[in-house]
Amino acid sequence: MIRDYEMACKVLGVDTGASATEIKSAYRELAKRLHPDNHPQQTERIREAYRLVVEAYEYIEKHPVPDKHPVPDIHPVTPAQSAAVKNDPAMKTFAPKVMGSPVGKRTGGADRERERKQFEEKARQEREARKEKLQEELQERKAQLDQEKKEKAILNEIRAIRLAAAIRAMLNEQGIE
């Protein structure tokens, strides 16, 4: 029976400071490895281990570790306060900032757009190159087939000439011309 967060983390084999992604990944790996359907010989022991892993994961989901750095309590800003900050030049210096940029202003949009356009252009060029290569391969294959058809036609003509010569020779032997 899982009694606390640390015990649950030990069962899953993760550190107590592990992220939710790491915990979920460890749980999935253990659950896959210990699933009773994969071990028909040791069913009771494996079932117990599997149950413990599931219980540990469920405990962590229900009792997440409290944050070491709690988020400060932020009071919502009323529309009137927001309008006062926007319109008062003296208050603009106190506008909230995130990473050095005003909160409302998006940064990097032009860079993302340029990168997206570059990616699309590169993808288009690669598609064009593949298309040209396939066209060349198609032309080569058509030329090859045409050559094969010509060779078959020549061989058939040679066979027909030989057959005609053989028939003539046979007719000559029998005295028929």
26-57 confidence digits (pLDDT tens): 999 988 888 877 777 777 777 888 888 899 89
Other CB atoms within 10 A of residue 3 CB? 8
Q: Indicate the pLDDT class of residue 96, thresholds 50, 70 and 90.
A: very low
What's the confidence (pLDDT) of residue 155? 93
| Span of 65-74, 76-85, 147-156 with lowest mean pLDDT | 65-74
What's the confidence (pLDDT) of residue 74? 45
1.10.357.10, 3.40.640.10, 1.10.287.110, 1.10.240.10: which CATH number matches 5-62?
1.10.287.110
Q: Indicate the pLDDT class of residue 70, thresholds 50, 70 and 90.
A: very low
Tell me the backbone φ, ψ of residue 101, rounded to 5 degrees. -115, 145
pTM, two decimals, is 0.38
Write the secondary structure of the chain as one string of H (helix), E (strand) and C (coil). Answer: CCCCHHHHHHHHCCCCCCCHHHHHHHHHHHHHHHCHHHCCCCHHHHHHHHHHHHHHHHHHHHCCCCCCCCCCCCCCCCHHHHHHHHHCCCHHHHCCEECCEECCCCCCHHHHHHHHHHHHHHHHHHHHHHHHHHHHHHHHHHHHHHHHHHHHHHHHHHHHHHHHHHHHHHHHHCCCC
Domain ranges of the chain: 5-62, 142-177
